[in-house]
Amino acid sequence: ADPMEASIEVSTQEMIRRAQKLQIETVFDRAVTMKPCAIGMQGICCKNCAMGPCRLPLPKGGVQGDDTRKGLCGATPNTIAARNWIRMIAGGAAAHSDHGRGVALTFLSVARKETKDYTIKDPAKLISIAPYFGVATTVEVDGKKLDRDIDEIALGVAEAAVAEWGKTDGFLSYLKRAPQPLQDKWEKQGVKPRNIDREIVEIMHRTHMGVDQDYKNLLKQGARASIADGWGGSMIGTDLQDVMFGTPAPLQAEANLGVMKADHVNIIVHGHEPLLSEMIVAAAQSQEMIDLAKQNGAKGIQLSGICCTANELLQRHGIPPAGTFLQQELAIITGACDAMVVDVQCIFQNLANVAKCFHTKLITTHPIARMEQENVIHIEFDEHYAMQDAMRIVKMAVENFQNRGAEVMIPQHKTTQIAGFGVESIQYHLGGSFRGSYYTLNDNIINGRIRGIAGVVGCNNARTKHNEEHITIIKELIKNDVIVLTTGCSAIAAGIHGLLTPGAAAVHCGPGLAEVCETVGIPPVLHLGSCVDNSRILLAATEVVKAGGLGNDICDLPAAGSAPEWMSEKAISIGQYFVSSGVYTVFGYSLPLEGAPVVKDYLYKTMEDMYGGMWDCEADPVKHAHKMIAHIDKKRKALGI
C-alpha cells in the first residue's frame, strides 16, 4: 500500500511505512491484495440456503438488462438486496443492543447490591429516566409528596430496563421520548418495536429461505429493528452508562498515536463496552499500580483508547484516544504498547499476528469475543469482581514494560481537543437562561447564523482514504455554517485533525457559525461520544423540536446525517434508525443496493413519505456535504426561514 494514498493523517502514514519496513502486514496491505466481490457489493448475492450462493446478474446503468435470471427459489434482486440489507441491520442492532444488555445487567447487579465496584454516579439522570420505565420517583407519606429512596428507584429502573429486551406486552418504553408526530408515523407504518430481541430474531426468521418475499415488507422490519436499536438498546445503554459512570461534560484531552509515551507503561483499551475499561482507569490510576510501574522502570502508566472504548473513556475521564479503527494495528507497531485490552466489536483478527512481532500482551476479556492464536491471553471479565480483574490486567501490562524491544517508534503527532458534549451540556451552552431548552440554538438557526445541524458519524473503511472523507465533509459543512455533532471513529478523526477546539471556529467556519461558537466558547464540531451515543443525537434533535420555532417533528428540522467512511453493520442500523426518525442520511463509499434499483429507489425516495427521512449515497466528499446542505436549505425554505 502507498502510505500517502492510504491516509491523509501523518502519523498513520509514518506507521504504515514502518510496518512495511518491518514486513508486518496491515489492513492497508490487505486492501490492495483482497478486492471486494462486485456482486456482493451490489447487494445481489444470496447465500441464505445451500442451493446457492446465487449471484444474480448485475444491472447495466442502473436498469435490469435482458439477463433476468433469478435465484434457484425464484428470488429476485429486490428480495435478495432487501434481505441482505435488513440482515445487516440485525447484525448492527444486535451488536449495539447486546452491549446495552450487558450494561443493563450490570446495572441490575448494582441495584441489587451484588457488586461494590460500580455505583450510581449520576442519580439525577436515573431520576430523569425513571418515569419512562413507569417507575415512580416520589412517594406519598401523610399526604405529602416525598422523594423516593434512590435504591428503590434504581431497582425499579434496572428490572424494567432489562425487561425491554424480552417484554411480552406493548412496545418499547423509550418510544415515548420521540416527538409525538414521529410516534404517530411509526404507528401508521406498523413499525413500533415490541421488544429489542424480538425484532432482531424476526429479521433472521423473515430472511430465512422461503419466508418474506416482499421487499417492502422486509424493509419495514428493518426499520422496526433499527428503531429498537436507536430508541431502545443503544439509548438504554447510553443512559445507564451515564447513570453508573457519570454523564459526560466538556473536558480537554489529547488525541492520536502521539499520546503514547516511550517512558511510560502504555495500556490501550480497544472495543466498545465501558464496563471493563472504567475499571481499568481506576486500576491504572491506583497508587499501587503507579508504584509498581516505577519499580519496573517506567515513569508512570499512560492509558489510551482505540475505537468507541476510546470515546467512552475520553468523554468521562479525558483519557486520550490513540487512534481510530484503522490505527489499531499501528498502535502496536509503535513497539511501545505493553498491553492491548479488547472486549467486543471492531477488533481486527490480525491484531494477534501484529502483537506476535512485539512484546505486546494482547488480552481478550469477553466470553463472546475470543481469539484462537496462542499468543493471546484471555482474562474473562466478571462484573462482580470487576476491580480485581482490572488490577490483574494492569499488573500484567506493567510487568511487561521491561520486555520492550529496542525499537520503539511513537509518531510525534498529537492534538488537543474538547470532547464530552451531550444533550445536557448542549442545553447548558446553547440553551436559554429562562427557557431551559435549546432556545439559543434554535434562535441562531432561525436568524440564520447557524444554517443547520449535521450529524457526521461512523467508521473508517480501508476502501477509502483514511479520514479524508470525514474531514473534508466536516470542513465543508462548518464552512457553510452547519454545526456538526459527531460520534464514533468520525469523532476521533475530527479530534485528530484539530476540529474539536473552539479555535477551529475562526479558521474553518463561515461567519455566522464562527460568531456563535466564539460567543458561546464551543467548538464548531461537538463530540457526543461513542456509536451507542448516537442515541444522544436523537435526543438532542428531539430537544431542538421541543424548543420550538423549527416545526414539530425531527423531519422538519434543517438537519442531515452522514457516515462518510462506513464499514460495519452497526452503521447500517444507525443509518436506518436516523432515516426512520426523519433524518436525510447520506453514506459515503458505496451501499449494497446498485444491483436492485427498485429497492434503492424505495430507500432513497419512498421512505421520505413514510418517515420523513431517506437514504442517499455519495462517495465524493464535497458533493456529499453539498447534498446535505441542499437538504438543510430545503427544510429552511419549508419553515420559511
What residues form the annotated binding site for [4Fe-4S] cluster? Answer: 37, 45-46, 49, 54, 73
Position 402, amino acid:
Q
Selected from 156, 179, 458, 524, the binder of ligand BF8 by CB under 6 A is 458
Alpha helices in 22-136 (DSSP H): 27-33, 38-41, 77-111, 123-129
Alpha-carbon separation of residue 370 from 326, 341, 361, 365, 374 (angstroms): 20, 12, 14, 8, 11
Number of neighbouring beta carbons within 10 Å of residue 10: 16
Cβ-based nearer residue to ligand BF8, 117 or 239 = 239
Helix, strand or coil for residue 482? strand
User: Which of 391, 196, 177, 142 minimizes the C-alpha distance to 290?
Assistant: 391
Give me the least distance between CB of 422 and ligand BF8, in Å please. 17
If binding is defined by CB under 6 A, does position 258 make contact with ligand BF8? no
Helix, strand or coil for residue 514? helix
If binding is defined by CB under 6 A, does position 102 make contact with ligand BF8? no
Total interface residues for ligand BF8 by CB under 6 A: 13
Residue labelled with grid coordinates 459512570: 245
3-state secondary structure 440-500: HHHHHHHCCCCCEEEEECCCCCCCCCECHHHHHHHHHHHHCCEEEEECHHHHHHHHHCCCC
What are the residues whose beta carbons fall under 8 Å from the beta carbon of 327, sequence distance 6 or more?
11, 12, 15, 257, 306
If binding is defined by CB under 6 A, does position 561 make contact with ligand BF8? no
Can you say which residues are annotated as belonging to the binding site?
37, 45-46, 49, 54, 73, 272, 308, 346, 459, 489, 531
Selected from 459, 514, 591, 614, the binder of ligand BF8 by CB under 6 A is 459
Report the site for ligand BF8 in 475-494 (rule: CB under 6 A): 488-489
Give me the least distance between CB of 630 and ligand BF8, in Å please. 26
Give me the least distance between CB of 204 and ligand BF8, in Å please. 21
User: Which of 321, 323, 352 minimizes the C-alpha distance to 419?
Assistant: 321
Q: Which helix (H) or strand (E) holds 219?
A: helix 215-228
Give me the least distance between CB of 481 and ligand BF8, in Å please. 26
Selected from 111, 346, 522, 538, the binder of ligand BF8 by CB under 6 A is 346
Can you say which residues are annotated as belonging to the binding site for [Ni-4Fe-4S] cluster?
272, 308, 346, 459, 489, 531
Cβ-based nearer residue to ligand BF8, 326 or 610 = 326
Give me the least distance between CB of 274 and ligand BF8, in Å please. 12
CB 587 within 8 A of CB 566: yes
HSE, side-chain direction, 13 A CA sphere, residue 169: 1
Cβ-based nearer residue to ligand BF8, 325 or 438 = 325
Cβ-based nearer residue to ligand BF8, 237 or 582 = 237
Report the site for ligand BF8 in 390-419 (rule: CB under 6 A): none
Helix, strand or coil for residue 107? helix
* String marking each residue 500-539 x if it binds ligand BF8 according to CB under 6 A: ------------------------------xx--------
CA 305-309-310 angle, to 5 degrees, is 35
Residue labelled with grid coordinates 436492485: 596
* String marking each residue 299-328 x if it binds ligand BF8 according to CB under 6 A: --------xx----------------x---
If binding is defined by CB under 6 A, does position 568 make contact with ligand BF8? yes
If binding is defined by CB under 6 A, does position 570 make contact with ligand BF8? yes
CB 177 within 8 A of CB 231: yes
Give me the least distance between CB of 458 and ligand BF8, in Å please. 5
Number of neighbouring beta carbons within 10 Å of residue 2: 10
Chain contacts with ligand BF8 (rule: CB under 6 A): 272, 307-308, 325, 346, 458-459, 488-489, 530-531, 568, 570
